[in-house]
Amino acid sequence: MSRTDTSVADRPTGVPSPAASRSGRGLTERLLAVRELSLLLALGALILVTTLYNDRFLGSQSIKDLLLGCAILVILAAGQTLVIVTRNVDLSVGSILGLVAFATGELFLAAPGTPWPVALVTGVVLGAVCGAVNGGLIAVAKVPALVITLGTLYAFRGVDYYWAAGQQINAADMPRSFLRLGNQTLFGVPVLFLVALVVVAVAGFYLRSYRSGRELYAIGSEPAAARLSGIPVGRRVFAVFVASGALAGLAGVLYAARFGTLDAAAGTGLELQVVAAAVVGGVAIFGGSGSVYGAALGAVLLTTIGSSLAVLRIDPFWQQAVVGALILAAIGLDRVLAIRTAARLRGRSAHVA
pLDDT attached to residue 47: 86
d(CA 249, CA 121): 9
Q: Please state the φ and ψ torsions of residue 186, each to the nearest 5 degrees.
A: -130, 115
Q: Which amino acid is at 25?
A: R
User: In terms of C-beta density within 10 A (0-12 exposed, 13-18 middle, 19 or more buried), how is residue 278 classed?
Assistant: buried
DSSP per residue, 94-106: HHHHHHHHHHHHH
Q: Please state the φ and ψ torsions of residue 185, each to the nearest 5 degrees.
A: -120, 155
DSSP per residue, 53-75: H-GGGGSHHHHHHHHHHHHHHHH
pLDDT attached to residue 53: 84
Q: What is the pLDDT along the chain (353 residues), one digit of tens a residue?
A: 444 343 433 433 343 444 444 444 555 555 556 667 778 888 888 888 888 888 788 888 888 889 998 999 999 999 999 999 999 999 999 999 999 999 999 999 988 888 999 999 999 999 999 999 999 999 888 888 999 999 999 999 999 999 988 888 888 888 898 999 888 888 889 999 999 999 999 999 999 999 999 999 999 988 889 899 999 999 999 999 999 999 999 999 999 999 988 988 998 989 989 999 998 888 888 888 889 999 999 999 889 888 888 888 877 777 778 777 877 777 776 667 666 666 665 665 555 55
**First-to-last C-alpha distance (Å) of the chain:** 15
d(CA 155, CA 63): 37
Helices (H), 229-316: 233-259, 270-280, 292-311
Secondary structure of residue 265 in the 3-state scheme:
coil
Contacts of 158 (CB under 8 A, 6+ apart): none
Contacts of 301 (CB under 8 A, 6+ apart): 39, 42, 43, 46, 277, 280, 281
pLDDT attached to residue 30: 59
pLDDT attached to residue 2: 42
pLDDT attached to residue 29: 57
Say if CB 96 and CB 245 are below 8 A apart.
Answer: yes
pLDDT attached to residue 299: 93
Domains of the chain by start residue, with CATH = 38-339 (1.10.3470)
Contacts of 76 (CB under 8 A, 6+ apart): 93, 97, 247, 248, 251, 270, 274, 277, 299
pLDDT attached to residue 334: 66
| Length, in residues, of the chain | 353
Say if CB 146 and CB 91 are below 8 A apart.
Answer: yes
d(CA 263, CA 105): 9
pLDDT attached to residue 239: 95
Q: Give the CA radius of gyration of the chain.
A: 22
